[in-house]
Chain A
């Protein structure tokens, strides 16, 4: 019995030490590369830690003789309860995220923005509140939809690119998505990653009547990044020795051409209502494609002329935690990113920096930004927002306190739920 108690005490101390580490991650997003990676997952599952720390605290207290070790008893009680409260912070600040989102929507769509969405749509198809406690703990109820996988859209002998398509289960005519197209661009530091990121969101939106094309693009050959983001996985057929971000945009452009000529009719998708969405590096590419779509006549025409199909109507873009300045990114990742060193005089860096491409004819944007994101710092999306504001284009940038990188992926977490509530409304408002 004595040994069991010693083992339990060691277990409690280990959990407390882990709690201190989680606290460091929660407040800083992690400064070292390992912690930054851990933060992506851990910050999304903190609600469960509330009860792990509460139970551990009570367990630890049960193992201490209060009369004989009064000081230790209270020290454990205070430490344990503090850790429990710290783990509750993402839950506690949810009203702040909701308030941030609401302010952004009011600024973009007016005080009565929600009244622009028919009641029957909100009642029958949309989330009725930005947050549900039950979902936060019990997991997200996945929507049902049709999925077709591994359809090839590009093959030049060296690189082969596939896409998956998510569609509503039944061709119900009155679904709020109206068969609008969403092109999903995955993240992974331009060098890794694959389709399937944001799976519950894609299923949810497909069930609402959107046709979602989750596409691959060529990956830059940066071995260190592939190793670092090993968890993200990647398709080795996508990696090209000379691929740069310019090629990646060309690949996405090729997809839009095939979409226009073939896939829109195959999947009965609406070319007059197209959205581009993606996170991280995919968020950056979303910005470049969305703002570069009409750039054929602009100062960066040399990079965008004939890149995209010309009969798409891009209604809005949804970059999540997007990278922005390519010159700055290239300083860290090297010249493989755009084929030239970051200090070169080439304007290619500016041509592939979303905020540089913004003009008054560009589509509105909805941006997800975790305030503790250490992979893509919040100032990057702030630069995009500033450029959009200056051009007079609507931009809703929702800031999520205590959220890190890719923190909407575990959709039932508080950030994910709030994000989905405003995302479905944003898409609907911009279809109108």
Chain B
């Protein structure tokens, strides 16, 4: 299946918006640290979940349409590998954070920092990948789109 420039552009814009909203609400989640806004955390979580899926999908799509012989193509490809490695580490950080807050008293600040960095890092990777795709849309040497 071929992807058009317009489709990729809209897809990337959605990725950028969802990652931004997810990161902002995620920061709010850690800053407020309360269960009274459960409806908001539900919304935040759904947006975050979708954004992480779309980030992963973008990496998969990029793998199909990137010209890896091009310099910029190579960089985006490397960034894609970086994202995949980072999201795996991020999940470990979240796991450690969940486990320590459940069993260790007082809670360890370092795990909050790691979870926070994981949240922000995934969003930054997603936004960067989507931004680079949009910037190179017209560059046929980088992306094979119609």
Contact surface of A with B, Cβ cutoff 8 Å: 41, 44-45, 48-49, 51-52, 54-56, 58-59, 61-62, 124-125, 127-129, 131-143, 147, 196, 199-200, 204, 409-413
Contacts and interface: CB of A to CB of B under 8 A. Distances in A.
B25 interface: yes
Interface in B59-97: 59-60, 63, 80-81, 84-85, 87-88, 90-92, 94-95, 97
Contacts of B34: 141
**Most chain A beta carbons < 10 A, residue from B38, B59, B85, B107:** B38
B136 interface: no
Contacts of B92: 48
Contacts of B53: 54
Contacts of B60: 58, 61
A410 B85 CA distance: 25
Interface residues of B, number: 48
Contact of B56 (A54, A141, A413): A54
A51 B87 contact: yes
B105 A147 contact: yes
B40 to A, nearest CB: 8
Given A62-B80, A124-B36, A142-B33, A135 B41 contact: yes
Contacts of B87: 51-52, 55
B44 A134 contact: yes
B45 A135 contact: yes
A413 B43 CA distance: 17
A409 B103 CA distance: 8
Contact of B41 (A51, A124, A134, A196): A134
Contact of B101 (A61, A129, A140): A140
B102 A410 contact: yes
A131 B42 contact: yes
A51 B33 contact: no
Contacts of B95: 45, 48
Given A138-B48, A138-B119, A410-B102, 4 more contacts: A135-B41, A137-B49, A138-B30, A200-B102
B84 A410 contact: no
A56 B42 CA distance: 26
Contacts of A147: 105
A204 B91 contact: no
A133 B46 contact: yes
B3 interface: no
B12 to A, nearest CB: 17
Given A54-B56, A55-B87, A139 B81 contact: no
Contacts of A49: 91
B29 interface: yes
B52 A51 contact: yes
Given A142-B33, A204-B35, A59 B101 contact: no
Nearest to B37: A128
A412 B98 contact: yes
A139 B36 CA distance: 15
Contact of A140 (B44, B48, B81, B98): B98
6 contacts: A51-B87, A138-B48, A140-B98, A199-B104, A200-B102, A409-B103
Given A124-B36, A134-B25, A45 B49 contact: no
Contacts of B42: 129, 131-134
Contacts of A129: 38-39, 42
B48 A199 contact: no
Given A132-B42, A137-B45, A141-B35, A62 B102 contact: no
Nearest to A144: B33
A196 B52 contact: no
B98 to A, nearest CB: 5
A208 to B, nearest CB: 10
A70 B107 CA distance: 49
B26 interface: yes
A138 B26 contact: yes
**Most chain A beta carbons < 10 A, residue from B46, B95, B119:** B95
A132 B36 contact: no
B6 interface: no
Nearest to A124: B36
Contacts of B104: 199
Given A132-B38, A132-B41, A135-B41, A199 B102 contact: yes
Closest 4 pairs (CB-CB, A-B):
A133-B45, A134-B45, A134-B41, A141-B33
Nearest to A207: B35
Contacts of B33: 141-142
Contact of B91 (A48, A124, A200): A48
Contacts of A204: 35
A58 B63 CA distance: 9
Nearest to B56: A54
A58 B29 contact: no
B88 A52 contact: yes
Contacts of A52: 87-88, 91
Given A139-B101, A199-B105, A133 B48 contact: yes
